[in-house]
Amino acid sequence: MATNKAIFERCTAKILEIERWLTRSPHYPLGNTHTPRYSEGASPPITEIASRRGLYFGKQIEEKQCMAINFQFMSVAAHSLIIVRDSRLVHSTQYPGFSIFDPNGKERLPINITDRSEDGSEKVINKELMEISPDSSINIGTDAINPGYCATFGIIFMCYYHRYKDYPNWLSGWKYVLGIFKTESTRWRGRVANIGIEVAADVLQEICKGSSVSENIEGILEVLCTACPDIITAMGSSSGGGINYSYKTDKYMQRLEALLKKQI
């Protein structure tokens, strides 16, 4: 049986292909080798990160769209995170409507985004901008178990968002998913791992099947919904907001229902 690392290496090109499909653009490189002002530990002001015109790190993102960022540092391996623009995400800064997903948690964003307080002093506001990130890292484990799943977690989030973004309470569903992901692994008992790592490993198995991108995304959602079967309940809604939703024509929910029946 192939190791997690071997599967990960085999899937690298397909991961980038899925990422491009979900974001409608290649990932955006930042860090020492591309944009020194975003080097590891840098403290850019919020005015550089976001604007009311929909520019994030200088790149345009449309409403309900994601952007993948690849931080490339000289001291550590590359790290991937996601920015989503969504007007329903409102935080206490003057730039509402976006959030950063980092599977390493709110405490470990590679840069320190700052804003000016009323007294004119600067304060770090990373946590305020990371509503969709876990409080602590879900991207854990040794290299043998987790060969580098940050981009995989990013794809999982984007697949979830792509599927559920028209639900008014999609964020509640995502927080439920993050709660499941933090649960201790049953597959690797006694080792540093969680359900999120299990899902990431299964997602890469799905990606390695060599299907089309749309089939890959459907398969990723199957993996996610099997591990987190109460997403709809967590959202407190059976229909999307602002769309003509029909359960009978929703292929993802039909496949989920079939999966759940098999488990009974």
Domain range list for the chain: 4-263
Q: What are the DSSP calls for 84-100, one per residue? A: EE-TT---SSS--SEEE
pLDDT tens, residue by residue, 123-158: 898 998 999 999 999 999 998 999 999 999 999 999
pLDDT tens, residue by residue, 181-196: 999 998 887 788 999 9
Band (pLDDT 50/70/90 cuts) for residue 241 is very low
Tell me whether strands 65-72 and 79-85 are parallel, antiparallel or unpaired. antiparallel
Tokens of 75: 């001291």
Band (pLDDT 50/70/90 cuts) for residue 24 is confident
Q: What are the DSSP calls for the chain, one per residue? A: ---HHHHHHHHHHHHHHHHHHHHTS--EEEETTTBGGGSTT---BHHHHB-TTSEETTEE--TTEEEEEEEE-SSS--EEEEEEE-TT---SSS--SEEEE-TT-TT--SS--EEE-TTS-EEE-TGGG-TTS-SS-S--S-TTT-S--HHHHHHHHHHHHHHHTTSTTHHHHHHHHHHHHTSBPSTTTTSS-BHHHHHHHHHHHHHTT---HHHHHHHHHHHHHHH-TTHHHHHT-SS-SSS---GGG-HHHHHHHHHHHHH-
pLDDT at 260 over 50: no
Q: What is the pTM of this model?
A: 0.85
